[in-house]
Amino acid sequence: MTLLDCTKMADMDNKDQTELDPADVEDVEDVDDEETGEDVNTKACQLTVQMMRNPQVLAALQERLDGLVGSPSGYMESLPKVVKRRVNALKNLQVKCAHIEAKFYEEVHELERKYAALYQPLFEKRSDIIKAAYEPTDEECEWKADEEEELTEDMKEKAKVEEEKKDEEKEDPRGVPDFWLTVFKNVDLLSDMLQEHDEPILKHLQDIKVKFSDPDQPMSFTLEFYFEPNDFFTNRMLTKTYKMRSEPDEADPFSFDGPEIMGCTGCQIDWTKGKNVTLKTIKKKQKHKGRGTVRTVTKTVPNDSFFNFFSPPEVPENGELDEDSEAVLAADFEIGHFIRERIVPRAVLYFTGEAIEDDDDDYDEEGEEADDEEGEEEADEENDPDYEPKKDTNPPAECNQQ
């Protein structure tokens, strides 16, 4: 007999009792016959229902269930000793698999280094076109877009003449202006880091390269940001190096899931005086406790900026970080990996927005499912007779970017 059956039975009992006439109750004789199995089950169900209606019992039960989350089911403990012995052998095989997987990723890293050299001439030419060091030929500029496939030759010629006329009216720009700034602004992960005062600086960004660690060296990669001469800092290149590990942790070998970033180091930016956008000057008024006089104090404090990317939190030798530093590093690792894996190899597609559409397509289905689930939850709340929407007496404060 299930809990639901018990609940229904208890409700029926309560209903029957309320429908009995008091006079009928007086005529009922006590029967001391031996209880049957069904009577015992009925009483057990009634007791269960009464307990489930007690908030304290429910809270204690929920606490007990929460404590079981993530704990072993007890199945392994119930196995015979000889079977446990064999399971240990299987786990040792799994550790060996993890070490083979680590070797696999090491070879993948070697392949990345090999093919990076093959990509480099193409990336160099891309950089030359962007910064106007090379003007591509007509043949190199020929591109058949999807919407042009059905155009007649006359329509193509007319469109070409109109484009040439527009180009004559405009000032001839050099290369591809604001290429990398546009890429950054098109990608949510990067645009969230950008501040208005960063944009004039990123207009001078000419190229981003990925440099892999040398053979027989610990696994790592470096992002190199190349800038043309500007009024903000004297560096021609800013770097960010990510140190990686591709071997199982001896203490927890089963957690290995490929190379992981263990730490990162930035570089010093040689800012021109008064141009450091990572700092800002604020003025505070201070009142003297004794005399009551007021003075204005000028302080320099950190400022939100993309260029804080080059000054990540340092990871102590013991590896322990506070929650804020851990959050910053986690986001930093994600950004570094994304620039290496997606931005540098496919920069032009992020400039045009085509790669962004592809990225959005990857999340459409998941987003729809999430929306459906949310809709179901809202419907459940509306159908619940005990549901009473509460007004938010403390609306969240508006977040202001400093």
When pLDDT is averaged across residues 81-107 and rounded to a whole number, the result is 90
Spans of all domains in the chain: 88-137+175-275+303-360
Kind and range of the H or E element at 240?
A: strand 237-245
pLDDT of residue 32: 47
Q: What is the pLDDT of residues 348-367, one digit of tens each?
A: 999 999 988 766 655 555 44
Q: In which band, very low, low, confident or very high, does the pLDDT at 78 lie, cut at 50, 70 and 90?
A: confident
Which two tokens mark 68?
């079981």
Categorize the per-residue pLDDT at 216 as very low, low, confident or very high, splitting at 50, 70 and 90. Answer: confident
Residue 175 falls in which region: left (phi positive, over 0), alpha (psi -120 to 50) or beta: left
Q: Which among 233, 402, 232 has a CA at the least distance from the CA of 303?
A: 402
Residue of 273 and 161 predicted with greater confidence: 273
DSSP states along 196-215: GGGHHHHTTEEEEEEEEPPT
Q: Hey, what are 302's tokens?
A: 């950190």
Comparison of pLDDT for 339 and 149, the residue scoring more: 339
The confidence score (pLDDT) of residue 77 equals 83
CA separation for the pair 141, 136 (Å, rounded) = 7
pLDDT at position 158, please?
Answer: 65
Cα–Cα separations (whole angstroms), residue 398 to 45, 245, 322, 394: 52, 41, 26, 12
Domain 88-137+175-275+303-360 has CATH 3.40.50.300: no
Average pLDDT score over the chain:
77
Q: In 3D, which of 240, 285, 233 has the Cα closest to residue 266?
A: 240
Going across the sheet that includes 205-212, the strands are: 205-212, 220-227, 237-245, 260-265
Q: What digits encode the pLDDT tens for the residues 224-236?
A: 999 999 999 999 9
3-state secondary structure (DSSP) of residue 27: coil
Percent of the chain topping pLDDT 70:
64
Residue 303 has pLDDT above 90, yes or no: yes
- Mean pLDDT over 151-172 rounds to 63
- pLDDT at res. 169: 55
State the pLDDT at residue 71: 54
